[in-house]
Amino acid sequence: MEIKKRYRAFVLCCLVLDLLAALWLGYRYLDRKIPDEIHMYRGQEKQVEKVLNYPLVTVENAITVSSDGSYLLPLKLLGVVPFKEVKVLPGESTSVYVSGNTVGIYMETEGVMIIDTGEIMSEEGTKEEPARDIVKPGDYIVTFNQQEVRNKKDLIKDLTELKEQNVILGVVRDGENIPVSLTPVKDIEGKYRLGIWVRDDTQGIGTLTYVDKNGRFGALGHGISDMDTGSLLKVGQGRLYQAEILGIQKGTSGNPGELAGLIRYEPGKVIGSVSQNSEKGIYGIYYGSTSAVSLQKMEMAYKQELETGPASILCCVDGTVKEYEAEITKIDMNHEDSNKSFVIHITDPALLDITGGIVQGMSGSPVLQNGKLFGKFVGAVTHVFVQDAATGYGIFAETMLENEKNR
């Protein structure tokens, strides 16, 4: 009898846990599908209703927030349980010049980034590690004994001219300025060393997404992180260059491909300046000629205008920007990672034959729905699925432009 009671209690616990898990998964599903904010211009009221039209979700009367026309829509589950408040903001029809051109990106860090610490063979023949547990990978050295450090050249010069035994480094860590004290070690050549590995620049190939009417550009759709530390690089300054595709490593399952390109670091090849490296892309000023890259004026779509189904991307894999067929298979209106807001699958046989799908260097390729002539700019390609080279993630066009406005 006691065993039966325990068994029933166990079954009941399992059922309760299953119910809680189902409720949590249902909540997470609805939270991802229903955005926290919606931009809407006149005539889009039905689209808002469509976005909020889910089983078990009821919309309460709107609450006015401000005189600009924005308001809150309280949502409840089953008409009883408070779920979330969706802010509806007045929008406007926005057009940008979409590109799809491959570009070269060169960025200098804000200060000198520490990659790691290491040992030094001192002039006495002993192994020393003066920076261990004092600085961390991802720290940025911005001053050396109160003298500004802009790059590795500055740091080396300061060490060469060092006459004191102790050094005070001004370090930026997690946005906070921290002074740290280090005692450099003389190596077997009699030169002072700090025992740190550093980096002060990075470069690579990516895709220009758009240029707006004010000449500001957005590219990549995701940030550039340091390959060793994985942290987002803090940009001091950077430049955008024309680039030439030399070859393509085709993507296969388990092996993402890449565009192999040549960046010509010549004054005449500079087409823009980079001022921001963010999780949502890189941004700056485009000042190249209109013939330097492909630019076509298109209206931007707000996220609620996206639909699963046929789409296309603009990219340059053979020297010319072309439109290739694709399909949007999934949309997450409220994904915690904004550059994974929708899933896109390449269907164009020509692009699949050339690249295998999405490869490194195609990040930032504009995504369109309803084609170049009558369609809208809906987003940009950001990542490829490692196990499926034909499929990847995208960021909403709205998110990229909103990030630029909020700088």
List, by residue number, the catalytic residues.
222, 348, 363
H or E element in which residue 18 lies: helix 2-33
DSSP letters along 332-400, please? -TT-SSGGGSEEEEE--HHHHHHHSS--BT-TT-EEEESHHHH-EEEEEEEEEETTEEEEEEEEEHHHH
DSSP letters along 167-231, please? EEEEEEETTEEEEEEE--EEBTTS-EE--EEEEEEEEEEEEEEEE-TTSEEEESSS--B-TTT-P
The Cα 369–Cα 375 span in angstroms is: 5
Alpha helices in 69-175 (DSSP H): 152-160
User: CA-CA distances (angstroms) from residue 212 to 6, 88, 98, 177, 304?
Assistant: 67, 24, 9, 35, 21
